[in-house]
Structures are given as C-alpha cells and as structure tokens.
Structure 1
Amino acid sequence: MAVAWWRRAGWELSAVAASVRRALTTSGPERDLAVQSLKAAGAAILAWALVGWWWQAPMALMAPWTAVVLVQSTVYRSLRAGVQQLVVIGVGTVLAAGAAALTGNTMAAMALALPLTVLLGNYPRFGDQGIYAPTTAVFVLAYSSFSGTAVFHRLFEALVGAVIGIGVNALILPPVHLRDVRDSLDRLGRDSAALLRDMAQDVENGYARASAEQWYERAWRLAGPLQGLHDARMWTDESHRFNPGRRLRRAPEAPPRDWDSHWYQVTDHLESVTGMLVDTAGDWRRLAAPPEHVLGCLPELFRATADVCEADRAAITSSRPDGDARGRAMERAWESHRRLKAQMLDHHHDQDHEIATAVGGLVAQTQQLLYVLDAGRDLGAGRDAAHPA
C-alpha cells in the first residue's frame, strides 16, 4: 500500500515538474494558466496594498478577496463576474445587517439571513458568484460589522477590489483564446490522416472485423475534437468582447469558420466509410464481403485521402500552403476511386448483386468523402484546384 502511494506521489510530482517545464519553455495552456495565476495574485496584492496598507480601511479583506476571483479567463467574464459579485455581496450585506437589526442576536440573525442568502446564491443568473451572498452574510454577522458605516466600507472596498481585478485582467496580457481553435483543428487533421493511413495498411494486409470496428470507433471519437473546436470558438468569441488587447497588441486571427464546417463533414463521412467496412467484414456481416481485387483499390485511395487531410492540417498554420501537393493527392484519390467504381460496374454486369451492393456502398461513401475534400481546396490561400475527371 505504501509503495503504491509513493508511486502515485512520484507520478504526480513528475507531472507537476513537466507542467512547470512546459510553462517555462513553450507557449501553451500551462503558460496561460501560470500567467493568469500570477495576474490574480498580483491583483490581490495590489488591492491589499491600496486598501489595507495605505488607506488602513477597516474592511480591507474585501478588496483582495474580490480582486483575486475577478481575474477570469476572459475580460468579458471578469466584467460579468464583477457585476454579479458586487450585487450578491451588496444584497448579502444588507440582508445580514437587516436581520441583525431586527433580531438583536447574532445566532437569530444567522438563522434568519442564511436561508435567504443561500437561496439567493443558487439563483442561476449569479452563476459561480452566488456563493458570495451567504459567505458575506456570515462575515458580517460573525464580526458584528453591520452598522451603516461598516456596510458602506464593505461595499466600497469590494468595489475597489473589483476595479483592480478587472483592470489587471484587461490591461496586463488580456487573455485571447486563439490557440485552442488552432489546436482543435490541428488534432482533427492529424487524427483523420492517421486513421486513414492505418486503414490503408490494414486493408492491404487483410483486415478482420475487429480492425474495422476499431476504425469505426476512432472515427466516432473524432466527435471529441469537434466539440473541443466548438467550445474553443465560443471562448475565442468571448475573449474578444471588451478586450483592449485587440487594439494594444497585434494578435493573429483565428482560422476561418469555414474550416469547422469542412472538418464536420470530413469526420461525418469517415464514420460512414468505416461503418460500411464494418458491415462487410466478419462472419456476422450485413453485406457481402468485397473481393480482394476490389479491396486492392482502397489502400491507395485511403493514403491519398490521408495526404489531403495532412495538407489541410498544414494549411491552417502555414502562410504559404502547398496547394500543388494537395492537388496531386486529390488526383491520386480520384484515380483510385475511378478504379473502384469500375469494379462496381463489372460486378453489376456479372449479375453478382450482393457483391455489387457492397462495392456500390463503398463507392458511394468514399465518393462523398472525396467531394467534401475537393470542395475544401480553396480554404487554404494559394491552393490549386483538383477536380475529378
């Protein structure tokens, strides 16, 4: 038991050390988190220095407490959380002071104020800031700071902390979430290309139903990066709202939204293609297994399609994407597809309807995938078009 605990502790320390190393050496989520954490700490120190050390305010705790939680992941979120927090702190303070004045007893005032402030804190409009309504009421009643002057000081110092927290977040390296969009698009291109290459190799070596089911599961799991892309777009849009960083420093624009639609369609057709291959494999297949000479057309088709996905992946980050290489890959893909279609016509003429149906399904599904990829030829600047003959 002790050995397992030490092993887990060692893994955790190694993970922390790796995160620290990445934060110091490369741009990424670790460095973003470190910057936001230091900004929050700096905002709290500044608020305390102003309100507690210089002004010697009686409720100085409120300023750093408010400042540290308002260094949010976006400037817009800082503003919204600041308004929410000031409202709930104000209402919590007033309710606690009113309960104390009404009952004249701290215990009775808590029994009266806390149910109301907890209910208020759970109001969805206040989000994560709702918890500050009951905690403020507890502070007010525990320290008997419910006179008119004390209420004014509490609200004023919370306001000062909010201004400092929002100001630090907005003016010192204001967060803009562009990297997440690029990372999600990059992952979609990388995983799609890797899947297609593995499919090509397995078909060439003679695949079993278990392999086809793994392809289908990997295609289905591409929904994860797609959801990540959707969330990243939302964060990017929000991080641009009320963000002076867009004017104070030049930042690269996020890739066009046309890329999102492109990869949604690519991954959808990849799922259809792999599902068709599952249906034609194994003893419990739903469709007839395609002959070997038909399957022989697929490896080159999948490899060429993987090259197109890699070219699309590179075009997202490259200022001069290699349109010629993409065009040649599309030509290879369409040539392989023409050979596959010829096999379908041969089986149709031979009246081998079960095999013709299976081959026809493969032809239809791969053709839809190629049409989507061919339509995306203009997403990267400078690409040459590659049309099917």
Structure 2
Amino acid sequence: MSVEEGKRLTGKVSPARVRRWVGQEWAGVRRSVHSACFEAGPERDTLVQSLKAAAAAIAAWAVSGWWFQAPMALLAPWTAIAMVGSTVYQSVRTGIQQFAIIALGTLWASASMAFTHDQTMAAMLLTLPFMMLLGNYRRFGSQGIYGATTALFVITGGVSSTSTVGHRLLETLIGAVIGLLVNAFVLPPVHLRSVRDRLVRLTRETADVLGGVAEGLREEDGLEMSESWHHSAGSLTVSLQNVSEARRWAMEGSRWNPGGRLRRVGPTPPPFAEDTRWGSVCTRVLALTRTLKTINDDTGLPPPSPDFLRLLSDVLGQASSICAIETDLLSGSAAGALHERRDAAFREAWSTLSSLTGTFHQQEPSASAVGGELLLEARRLMTELAPSD
C-alpha cells in the first residue's frame, strides 16, 4: 500500500468522523425513542410488535417448557417469535410456510439419524445439502432457512425416536398457534394510520427541500449549494417508497384481521391518487435541483439572470408554503381556513410565475436553455401541486 493510499484510508476513519457518525446515530435513536413513547406512528407500531413478539415467545415457553416439560421446548418460542408478523395475514401465511418447512426438516433429519444409526456427521451430510436447497423453494418464502436450522437441532439432539419427532412437531405447532393468537387479538396491526403518517412526512420533507432551495437562491453564491439540494431532493424518493410500502401494508393488514372491530383505527387513509400526485411533485423537485446542479457544475453554461433566479426563488418559496399547508391538511387541522390559505398561495404563485415568464423572454439567448428548463419545471411543479378538489 502506498503512503497516499494509507493517508486516504486513515482520513476515512478519522476520530472526528467517527464522533460525528456516533452523534448522528445517537440523535436518530433518541428521535425514534421519543416518537415511540409520545407520538402515534411507525416507531410506536414497531415497539408494540416487538413487545408482542417477546410476549408470545415467553407464553410459548411457559406452555411447552414449563407446563408440558417438552424435551425440545426451544422450538415453541422460536416459532412464536417468527409468527408475530407485520399483519395478521402475514402471520397466517408465515405460520403455514414455517410449520411445513420445520416439519420437513424434522422428519428428514430424523430419518437420516435412523438410517445412519445416530451418526451425527453422516446425518448432516445426508440432511443439510438437501434442506438448504429445499429452503430456497419460493413457496416457502423467507421461512426456508428454518428447515435447515431445525434439522440441525434434531441431529445435534442425538435421538431419532418416533415420540421425539412427535414432540418436536407439537412444540412447533404450539409456538405457531400462540404467535398467531397474540398477533391477531393483542393490539392487532391495522396499518391504516401509517399511510397518512408517511404522506405527512413526505409533504413536510418536500416543503423543507423547496424552502431550502428558495432561501439559497436569494444568496449571491447560492448555486454552490445545488449539490446538497439535489441530494435532499433525491432522498424524497425514499420517503415516497415508504408511502407505497405503507399502502401495501394497509391493504394486506385488512385481510383476516379482527383489528377493525377490536381497535379504533381512526380515519381512513388518503386516496391512492395522493400517492401518484406527490410522486409527480417529487419528480419535478428532483428535475429542478438537477438543472440547478448542472448550472453550477458546467462553468461553460451561462446561468440565468439574478432577476430570474430571484423570481424563481419566490415561486419555490410559495410552493414550499403550499406543501406546508398540505401537511397540515393531511394531519387533520382545520380544513376551512387552510383551504383559503392554500388558494391564496396558489394565486400568488401563478402571478409570480407570470412575472418569471416575462423575465425569461428578456434573457440573453445564451441563458435561454437552462432558463427555459427551469421555467418549464416550475410550471409543471405548480400544476402537479394543484389539488384534485
């Protein structure tokens, strides 16, 4: 390794960078803990599901290990933990898959032990390659690995009698039933609120990105921050994917779920059209920041005039205000006053866009290319932000 490479690698793991990373991680943990304790949202849902999985495992151990005195009681809590899924439907599907693969692993390993006269190494050679291949069968989903691990438990247990095999299957069934009952009847996950929560986060983050770009464009050297703007706009796609994931969980969560009758689920999620609308908004924001980044990176490309950038900043600032109002509307704030504020912000934004169009026509021909692209994306952004109502 050269000296230069050594310095570069040393710089990558500098104490200052490590401290900064630890500080960021600690701040993220604190935010998550605070949200789980004091706010309804994904963090609290994760906390509830984690505690339910732990409770299901303890209950399964109490039944199989303490009450029945089962010889392989570990299988019951192990199965129960896997059964507490994100939805009741997922628990049922997971339970069927898991019980099937565990039963196959138990039977195959027991047969191998009997065939090899309880020779551990020989039984492993006969069992593990087959169970690993079988575990990749798509019908078993993510539960396929449990076949091989169960086979290991059986083989290392060293006994292959019929009664022992029956005990292991019974313990697995106990864990599956307890896990399913806990997930279905103890605060069953409904996921209806998650769609709204994640849409609110997306609109709030969009408002922050647009507000940051608008504020930066008012500064003399604001375009130098264009790379960070583009990075922030790119992160909106992650939030948009989270909305899509929450929508899928909400649809799956309503299947075979008694939660609609056992829990107060709150208002229904926003319509799917909102997902499409905000996906288009994020695309326009990403395109705007990409164009601004191109202006800053390409020194041979003349930027638009300061007056054009000032008016563009005003348009984006008004778009940020509209996104903030949409955030309040999705959060359930007073709709009447917010609708009036939103309509007023739209009128002001379109008026500013007219001024921006007039300034564009006064541009130098060399600056028309990027100016025209920025103007077009700004108009598209305001069109996408227009609500369906």
Same fold? TM cut 0.5 = yes
Q: Is the 8 A contact 1:278 1:285 kept in 2?
A: no
C-alpha distance in 2 between matches for 1:154 and 1:292: 76
C-alpha distance in 2 between matches for 1:144 and 1:86: 22
Show structure 1 runs of 5+ residues with no match. Answer: 379-389
**Structure 1: which amino acid aligns with 2:346?**
M
C-alpha distance in 2 between matches for 1:22 and 1:221: 21
Q: Which of these residues, 318, 324, 328, is aligned with residue 340 of structure 2?
A: 324
Q: TM-score, normalised by structure 2?
A: 0.84
Q: Is the 8 A contact 1:209 1:282 kept in 2?
A: no
C-alpha distance in 1 between matches for 2:278 and 2:116: 64
> Deviation per CA, 1:25-73, whole angstroms, max 9, x where unpaired?
4434443333223222222232233333333444443323322221122
Number of residue pairs matched by the alignment: 370
C-alpha distance in 1 between matches for 2:308 and 2:43: 49
Q: TM-score, normalised by structure 1?
A: 0.84
Q: 1:65 to 1:189 in 2, by over 3 A?
A: closer
Q: Which of these residues, 284, 287, 291, is aligned with residue 299 of structure 2?
A: 284
C-alpha distance in 1 between matches for 2:45 and 2:320: 33
Q: Which of these residues, 163, 166, 178, is aligned with residue 164 of structure 1?
A: 178
Alignment partner, residue 156 of structure 2: 142
Show structure 2 runs of 5+ residues with no match. Answer: 1-14
Are 1:129 and 2:129 an aligned pair? Answer: no
Between stretches 179-188 and 74-83, larger displacement belongs to 179-188
Alignment partner, residue 96 of structure 1: 109
Alignment partner, residue 383 of structure 1: none
Between stretches 115-124 and 330-339, larger displacement belongs to 115-124
Q: Which of these residues, 330, 333, 353, is aligned with residue 365 of structure 2?
A: 353
**Structure 2: which amino acid aligns with 1:269?**
R
Identical-residue share of aligned pairs (%):
41
1:219-368 correspondence runs (5 A)? 219-252=233-266, 253-281=268-296, 284-286=299-301, 288-318=302-332, 320-321=334-335, 322-346=338-362, 352-368=364-380
**Structure 1: which amino acid aligns with 2:290?**
G
Structure 1 SS opposite 2:188: coil
Structure 1 SS opposite 2:85: coil
**Structure 2: which amino acid aligns with 1:339?**
S
Q: CA deviation at 1:191?
A: 2.3
Structure 2 SS opposite 1:325: helix
Between stretches 352-361 and 98-107, larger displacement belongs to 352-361
Alignment partner, residue 46 of structure 1: 59
Q: 1:200 to 1:132 in 2, by over 3 A?
A: closer
> Deviation per CA, 1:111-150, whole angstroms, max 9, x where unpaired?
2222222222333432332222122222223334322222
Q: 1:70 to 1:338 in 2, by over 3 A?
A: same
**Structure 1: which amino acid aligns with 2:379?**
Q
C-alpha distance in 2 between matches for 1:206 and 1:313: 31
Alignment partner, residue 381 of structure 1: none
Structure 1 SS opposite 2:218: helix
C-alpha distance in 2 between matches for 1:291 and 1:80: 61
C-alpha distance in 1 between matches for 2:169 and 2:258: 27
Are 1:216 and 2:242 an aligned pair? Answer: no
Alignment partner, residue 381 of structure 2: 369
Structure 1 SS opposite 2:181: helix
Q: 1:160 to 1:212 in 2, by over 3 A?
A: closer
Q: Which of these residues, 71, 74, 80, is aligned with residue 61 of structure 1?
A: 74
Q: CA deviation at 1:344?
A: 3.1
C-alpha distance in 1 between matches for 2:30 and 2:375: 51
C-alpha distance in 2 between matches for 1:186 and 1:110: 52
C-alpha distance in 2 between matches for 1:100 and 1:249: 49
Q: Is the 8 A contact 2:110 2:160 kept in 1?
A: yes
> Deviation per CA, 1:175-196, whole angstroms, max 9, x where unpaired?
1234443343223222222222
Q: CA deviation at 1:346?
A: 4.4
C-alpha distance in 2 between matches for 1:207 and 1:367: 25
C-alpha distance in 2 between matches for 1:93 and 1:294: 72
Q: CA deviation at 1:93?
A: 1.4
C-alpha distance in 2 between matches for 1:183 and 1:324: 24
Q: CA deviation at 1:317?
A: 1.5
Q: CA deviation at 1:262?
A: 1.2
Structure 2 SS opposite 1:72: coil
RMSD of the alignment, in Å? 3.1
Q: CA deviation at 1:20?
A: 5.2
Q: 1:151 to 1:260 in 2, by over 3 A?
A: same
**Structure 1: which amino acid aligns with 2:376?**
A
Which is higher, the Rg of structure 1 or of structure 2?
1
> Deviation per CA, 1:310-344, whole angstroms, max 9, x where unpaired?
11121111154211000000000000011112223
Alignment partner, residue 382 of structure 1: none
